Amino acid sequence: MSTTAPLLPNGLVVVVKHECATCQMVEPVLAAIAASGAPLTVYTQDNPDFPESVPHTHDSTLAVSWHYDIETVPTLLVIENGVEVGRTFGWSQAEWQRITGIDDLGADLPVTRPGCGSMSVDPDRVDALRAAFTDSPVISRHIEFSSAEDEFEAMYARGWTDGLPVIPPTRERVLRMLTGTTRHPQDIVAIAPPDLVELTVEKIAINAVMAGCLPEYMPWVIAALEAVCNDQFNMHGVLATTMPVGPVIICNGPGTRAIGMNSGINAFGQGNRANNTIGRAVQLTIRNVGGGRPGEVDRATHGNPGKISFCFAEDEENSPFTSLATERGVPLGQNAVTVFAGEGPRCVVDQLARTPEELTESLAACLLTVHHPKLVIGFDAILTLSPDHGRVYAEAGWSREKLLAEITERTLRPGADLVRGAQGMAEGVPPHLRDSTLPKFRAGGLLLTYAGGGAGLFSSIVAGWANGAIGSDPVTRIVGS
């Protein structure tokens, strides 16, 4: 079907449908306009016999309604030299009289009456209309399944899934997903590892459909993929390592609330569409476009369930601290994602601490065990405080900076306790560090976040992969449109 907009004749153009009571009410008005000699063209969306009192054209494909953005019927347009110069919708006696120049038009009708939804914006039709009339076609290869194939099983058999069912990325669904971003479908967002494939907005949209995203999640998925597809984060290394890590996506800004992300009860878990599908879309894109498949380049010894999706929002509105994004240089109120190469979360239990000093001792003791009690500096971590634990620091007036400084102080260890062979453990730091005092984390290596349910004296630690040039560094990106 042609995507070219039909040319409208000069004069007055009205779009109606028989199903609309307001459209039926203005039928005598249409007859009066025609009788006045004014050039009038009427398009009807549903019943080809309506309106009987004036000549009309059946907009059977809804091409006119789609291309001219008719959202409500009746809509009255003014066309001059093929260009729209005026519009009103619904029934407004004053507006119809002004536009038509007929002073007593519809004088016996109510002053105003709302119209009805156009058939071209009907949720049951809009995807098919977009596919029929869009000027931005999907250019990715289209694969036809036979009628005997189950599409869900066929996608699994072709290796396109993460082991769970995915949604078939039909052209209609992909075009709907693309409405969530202002970027052109063929814009290259990044080079996707490990195969170093150009990652376009369209390819991301396809995988976002498969993951179950809504269109409004697209800017977040794009930003997260920009954040992981670079040398700093080192997605290729994150895939290839035998450690159990994958991208952990931390979302900040007012947009997290606008799209309904979970920063509260079960923030790391199941049940929230935005959290689960944004993270899943990132993973599926790396798998399907970049080639990062388990058993191939992905060589994790055990992996972790977060490699399907690990994405959550910070509870910025209730946090006693500045947000992670703000700490990392993002202006207040700006949407951003931070990606971290991390394993699954582990729980920190302290139900008795009532002072910040007591609680910090517990947090420090648990953080010392990240990956191994005798390994220091080489691994980063995320500490996510719950509201119940955060309250202890809020009541004492501790800032983010003070808490991190106190944890750093409490996680300093003498090299003699950490060298290889000390405490009967072969693992440890090299012998030349015996006389040093060593921090558990490098400067900036502990990321503090705030999320979780309002009850429970627990916090969480997410341990990272090797950091720096030999591993991965956290990356923060602004979320665009």
Q: Look at residue 342 in the predicted model and tell me its pLDDT.
A: 98
What are 109's two structure tokens? 């009708």
Residue-range domain boundaries for the chain: 11-128, 154-478
The three-state secondary structure class of 400 is helix
Kindly list the distances between the CA atom of residue 85 and the CA atoms of 98, 229, 322, 379, in Å, as whole numbers in the listed order. Answer: 13, 47, 50, 63
For the chain, the C-alpha Rg in angstroms (whole number) is 30
Record the tokens describing residue 254, joined without a space.
């007012």
Query: Residue 3 has what pLDDT?
Result: 63
Cα separations (Å) of 90 from 62, 105, 224, 360? 18, 15, 43, 63
Please state the φ and ψ torsions of residue 259, each to the nearest 5 degrees: -95, 5
The pLDDT of residue 156 is 95
**CB of 379 closer than 8 Å to CB of 460:** no
Q: Is the peptide bond before 194 cis (omega within 30 degrees of 0)?
A: yes
Phi, psi of 78 (to 5 degrees): -115, 120
Could you identify the residue written with the tokens 């609309």?
A: 20
For 329, 366, 419, 451, the CA distances from 339, given in Å and listed in that order, are: 15, 23, 32, 16
Domain 11-128 annotated CATH 3.40.30.10: yes
How does pLDDT run across 168-198, given as a tens digit for each residue?
A: 999 999 999 999 999 999 999 999 999 999 9
pLDDT at residue 84, rounded to an integer: 96
Count of positions (residues) in the chain: 481
Query: Per DSSP, which regions of 90-156 are E strands?
Result: 91-92, 112-113, 116-117
Alpha-carbon gap, residue 188 to 203, rounded angstroms: 10
Residue 2: per-residue pLDDT? 45
Dihedral-angle region of residue 141 (phi above 0 means left; psi in -120 to 50 means alpha; beta otherwise): beta
Residues in the chain, pLDDT under 70: 1-3, 136
Asked if residues 416 and 346 have their Cβ atoms less than 8 Å apart, the reply is no
Structure tokens at 120: 């071209």
pLDDT digits (tens, 9 = 90+) for 48-106: 999 999 999 999 999 999 999 999 999 999 999 999 999 999 999 999 999 999 999 99
**31, 58 in Cβ contact below 8 A?**
no
